[in-house]
């Protein structure tokens, strides 16, 4: 075997092992994004699971605004219909998922604002507990979304950088979508969870 052949084989071997390493790192990053996505879905599911109890508690109050309750129930149904598979986290799909969840959050905010007009509702222990659980769940959702975005950033960086992008295109890896701030999110919400008024 000639010296040039040996050098060629060594270079080919190094490139092969480099490619395998890059591909394995992308696979690891992809699995991390999927795990973080599962955590995001779990946090949103927790919020969705709290809503029936909240609606039942509010329905027990005489003359509570029926349209507000209907909006919450409808928004929950819409949000739970959007199923986003971890293998299809495109920016467009993330945006659709986020829009449905934002609609639900807006309906819940309106429900809480209307509840301020019903002192007998605010005074119930069940309603107070649900308010606290919802507030905690919203914090959990934000945290999980942030962690998810960090995982997506790491994965996307590995996919778009040259020469990794060559391996990504051969392996079928593409950039994944981020959660982004909702339109108007720069304005602070006026939700008040203080039940001691």
Between residues 105 and 63, the one the model is more confident about:
105
Answer whether 87's CB lies under 8 Å from 174's CB.
no
Tell me phi and psi for residue 13, to 5 degrees.
Answer: -65, -45
| Segment 134-149 mean pLDDT | 92
CB atoms within 10 A of CB 43: 20
In this structure, what token pair is assigned to residue 3? 């010296």
pLDDT of residue 195 exceeding 50, the answer is no
Q: Is the model's pLDDT at 35 over the cut of 90? A: yes
pLDDT at 34: 93
Q: Does residue 36 have a pLDDT over 80?
A: yes
In the chain, where does DSSP find H-type helix? 3-59, 66-81, 91-115, 119-122, 125-160, 164-171
Contacts of 101 (CB under 8 A, 6+ apart): 44, 79
Q: How confident is the model at residue 147 (pLDDT cuts 50, 70, 90)?
A: very high
Of 32-36, 50-54, 179-183, 187-191, minimum mean pLDDT range: 187-191
Residue 54 has pLDDT above 90, yes or no: no
Percent above pLDDT 70 for the chain? 91
User: Which of 14-23, 40-49, 164-173 is predicted most confidently?
Assistant: 40-49
Q: Which two tokens stand for residue 69?
A: 């309750």
Tokens read off for 155: 């994965």
CATH topology of domain 3-171: de novo design (two linked rop proteins) (1.20.1440)
Question: Taking the model in full, what pTM does it have?
Answer: 0.78
């Amino acid at each position: 075997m000639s010296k040039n052949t040996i050098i060629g084989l060594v270079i080919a071997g190094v490139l092969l092992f480099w490619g395998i390493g890059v591909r394995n790192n992308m696979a690891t990053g992809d699995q991390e994004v999927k795990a973080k996505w599962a955590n995001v879905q779990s946090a949103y599911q927790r919020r969705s699971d709290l809503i029936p109890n909240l609606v039942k508690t509010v329905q027990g109050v005489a003359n509570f605004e029926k349209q507000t309750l209907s909006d919450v129930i409808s928004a929950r149904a819409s949000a739970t219909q959007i199923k986003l598979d971890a293998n299809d986290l495109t920016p467009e799909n993330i945006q659709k998922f986020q829009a449905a969840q934002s609609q639900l959050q807006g309906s819940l905010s309106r429900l809480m604002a209307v509840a301020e007009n019903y002192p007998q509702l605010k005074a119930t222990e069940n309603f107070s507990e649900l308010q606290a659980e919802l507030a905690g769940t919203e914090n959990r959702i934000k945290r999980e979304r942030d962690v998810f975005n960090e995982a997506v950033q790491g994965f996307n960086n590995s996919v778009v950088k040259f020469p990794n992008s060559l391996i990504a295109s051969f392996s079928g890896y593409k950039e994944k979508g981020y959660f982004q701030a909702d339109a108007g999110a720069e304005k602070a919400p006026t939700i008040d969870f203080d039940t001691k008024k």
